Structure 1
Amino acid sequence: MLRHLLCLLAGLFMAALAHAQAEHSLELLREQGRDEIIPRYLLQDPYGRPVSNEDFRGRFQLIAFGYTFCPDVCPTTLVEMASLLKSLGPRAGKLQAIFITVDPERDTGKVLKTYTEFFDARILGLTGSPQLIRRVADNFRIRYARVVNPGNGPYAVDHSAGMTLLGPDGRVLRKYAFGTPTDDILTSLKDLLPER
């Protein structure tokens, strides 16, 4: 019992440390007058229509990368996104939640639509060609790689986790590391999103 408690505390400490480091890194980049992240994308919505970062000018964008076969990190992230949208109430109308696949071969528009709607219909799933996904992931400094299952089962995709918040002007405002408490993200969003 004590061992489990210590492991849990260590995990919470590491998540908090990662979050603090991500925030500190972003602040240093801002102070230096440059952001490492290039907040640009041109992908497709579940109906095959082109969608770019410019389509959401004037709104905040909360962006996560992942894939529908992900066993743990992605569903956890989308549960958090859905919870944030619900908790924001009317303010959620000023925020577009976006889930960008890193597995375009399996994550067709139809698959993404079914997946994201399971969590919240307001979460927009985006896909594209492998080349476009790679370019967008590089722009957002997202690392991902296919991991082959030695048992001949379906492959997995190892990928960076967390969420990126873009402001109404399209610039990066925050990086939320995976494991950041949802209440902390909610407080941050409420501080940024106008009530009306």
Structure 2
Amino acid sequence: MKMLRIIAIWLVCWGVWTGWAVRQAQSAEVDAPMSARYLLMDANGRAVTQEDFPRQFQLIAFGYTYCPDICPTTLAEMARVLARLEADGDRLQALFITVDPERDSAAVLRKYTEFFHPRIMGLTGSTALVRRAADNFRVRYEKVREPGAPADRYAVDHSAGMFLLGPDGFYLRKFAYGTPPDDIADAIRELMARFPRGRR
């Protein structure tokens, strides 16, 4: 009986430690430093990089306009974050980077993002530049096409979530997909307090 009790205690401790280790690994993956650099194009054909928004935070999501669920949900949440920030909203630039540059032209992206909020900016670019940006953010994506489907009929599996850059253009953190928009806004506001207006 004593041996069974020892084994039971050991199993409980092992379970607690394993759960802690998994949470630590997930946290490290979410908040691990990354380069978070990009060189893309906005709806007006202007080149845009992470350094083009001085004194503003950047909230960035990757996706595509044909996305049936994750992307529209993410952009709706972005819009809610901007609304919750109220007067501080002008200190945040929301960006949607396509992972489907073949179909998502600048004009298509503008129409799509403005449906959710006029201050969400869509960015596209060449296949190589989009891939480089995604790699810098550790975003994975790939085309998925049903057998026999036309070349332009495909979905794109991609990483979800939103990334936050500071006023200096450097990576701060990632918000996992499903994080409540109010929590995201509150976290951004706390970070804004560390960067007074006018400070970069």
- Structure 1 contact 96–122 (Cα < 8 Å) conserved: yes
- Structure 2 contact 51–168 (Cα < 8 Å) conserved: no
Secondary structure, in 3 states, of the residue corresponding to 1:187?
Answer: helix
- TM-score (normalised: structure 2): 0.80
- TM-score (normalised: structure 1): 0.82
- Return the alpha-carbon distance in structure 2 between the equivalents of residues 151 and 79 of structure 1: 34
Letter in 2 for 1:180: T
Identity across matched positions, percent: 58
Partner of 2:185: 186
Partner of 2:29: 25
Letter in 1 for 2:141: Y
For the structure 1 residues 106 and 20, does the alpha-carbon distance in structure 2 shift closer, same or farther, using more than 3 Å as the test?
farther
Secondary structure, in 3 states, of the residue corresponding to 1:188?
Answer: helix
- Return the alpha-carbon distance in structure 2 between the equivalents of residues 186 and 21 of structure 1: 25
Q: How many residues align?
A: 172
Partner of 1:55: 52
Which structure: larger Rg?
2
Pairs within 5 Å for 1:1-196: 22-26=26-30, 29=32, 35=33, 37-150=34-147, 152=149, 154-194=153-193
- Structure 2 contact 67–156 (Cα < 8 Å) conserved: yes
Letter in 2 for 1:190: R
Deviation at 1:173, TM superposition (A): 1.0
For the structure 1 residues 110 and 25, does the alpha-carbon distance in structure 2 shift closer, same or farther, using more than 3 Å as the test?
same
Residue by residue, what CA displacement relative to the aligned partner does 1:27-84 show, whole Å, maximum 9, x if unpaired? 5x4xxxxx2x211111000111111111012210000000000000000000000001
- Structure 1 contact 65–160 (Cα < 8 Å) conserved: yes
Taking only aligned residues, the RMSD between alpha carbons, in angstroms, comes to 2.0
- Return the alpha-carbon distance in structure 1 between the equivalents of residues 61 and 166 of structure 2: 15
Residue by residue, what CA displacement relative to the aligned partner does 1:60-114 show, whole Å, maximum 9, x if unpaired? 0000000000000000000000001011111010010000000000000000000
- Return the alpha-carbon distance in structure 1 between the equivalents of residues 50 and 67 of structure 2: 25
Secondary structure, in 3 states, of the residue corresponding to 1:40?
Answer: coil
